[in-house]
């Protein structure tokens, strides 16, 4: 499938809502929060907290998107809030394309690192493998964070001016 990348537009609201509803690993609360961020970006065009990149098909319809932004009170740290791909298009490299576009944008903005938080539930096992395959390091596990038996996992990738820099260890 041939896709192009572009920014979020008002016309994307309903197609994104339908796409999110089709992703079985997202529960109703996940979908509601994802739509809240989409609506904030559409309603408050001057906000700087959330950036969106969409993957669109030949009919200009979203087949995936990502939402990310600078982490408040930090210098050069960014959070990836959402990356979602239409299940009908899964496995076609759309997620990798979106993640690469996010990393390039962050680097162009002087970003030093990207943090990604996700769940340890079986529904997100493939997601975790995806981040590891893309060079992210699992740096934190908070047990029972979301609910009993469901941990929060934090992945990180460091950037340098001349490309990716993966640091190991901690001064602590």
Q: What is the pLDDT of residues 37-47, one digit of tens each?
A: 999 999 999 99
Domain that holds residue 133: 4-164
DSSP 8-state class, residue 171: -
User: Is the confidence at residue 172, as pLDDT, over 50?
Assistant: no
Residue 171 lies in a domain: no
User: Is the confidence at residue 168, as pLDDT, over 60?
Assistant: no
Mean pLDDT across 81-95: 95
Residue 147 lies in a domain: yes
Q: What tokens appear for 73 in the block?
A: 């009170």
If we measure between CA atoms, which residue out of 68, 9, 62 comes closest to residue 34?
Answer: 68
Q: How many CB atoms lie within 10 A of CB 134?
A: 15
SS3 65: strand
Residue 169 lies in a domain: no
pLDDT at 1: 81
Give the model confidence (pLDDT) of 17-27 as tens digits.
999 999 998 98
Residue 170 lies in a domain: no
Residue 131 lies in a domain: yes
User: Is the confidence at residue 50, as pLDDT, over 90?
Assistant: yes
pLDDT at 161: 56
Give the model confidence (pLDDT) of 73-82 as tens digits.
999 999 999 9
Average pLDDT, the chain: 92
Domain of 56: which CATH number?
3.40.630.30
Residue 172 lies in a domain: no
pLDDT at 100: 98
Band (166; pLDDT cuts 50, 70, 90): low
Question: How far apart (Å, rounded) are the C-alpha atoms in residues 125 and 122?
Answer: 5
Give the model confidence (pLDDT) of 92-136 as tens digits.
999 999 999 999 999 999 999 999 999 999 989 999 999 999 999
Residue 23 lies in a domain: yes
Query: Beta strands 62-70 and 51-56: pairing type?
Result: antiparallel
Within the chain, residue ranges assigned H as helices are 13-21, 28-43, 94-108, 125-133
How many domains are contained in the chain? 1
């Amino acid at each position: 499938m041939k896709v192009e990348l572009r920014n979020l537009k008002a016309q994307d609201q309903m197609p994104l809502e339908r796409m999110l509803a089709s992703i079985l690993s997202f529960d109703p609360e996940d979908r509601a929060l994802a739509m809240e961020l989409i609506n904030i970006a559409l309603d408050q065009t001057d906000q700087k907290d959330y950036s969106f990149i969409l993957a669109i098909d030949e009919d200009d319809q979203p087949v995936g998107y990502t939402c990310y932004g600078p982490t408040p009170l930090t210098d050069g740290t960014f959070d990836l809030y959402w990356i979602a791909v239409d299940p009908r298009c899964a496995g076609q490299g759309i997620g990798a394309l979106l993640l690469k576009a996010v990393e390039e944008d962050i680097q162009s903005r002087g970003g030093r690192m990207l943090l990604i938080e996700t769940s340890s539930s079986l529904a997100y096992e493939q997601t975790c493998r995806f981040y590891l395959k893309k060079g992210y390091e699992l740096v934190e596990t908070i047990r029972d964070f979301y609910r009993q038996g469901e941990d929060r996992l934090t992945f990180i990738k460091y950037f340098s001016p001349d490309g990716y820099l993966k640091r190991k260890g901690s001064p602590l």
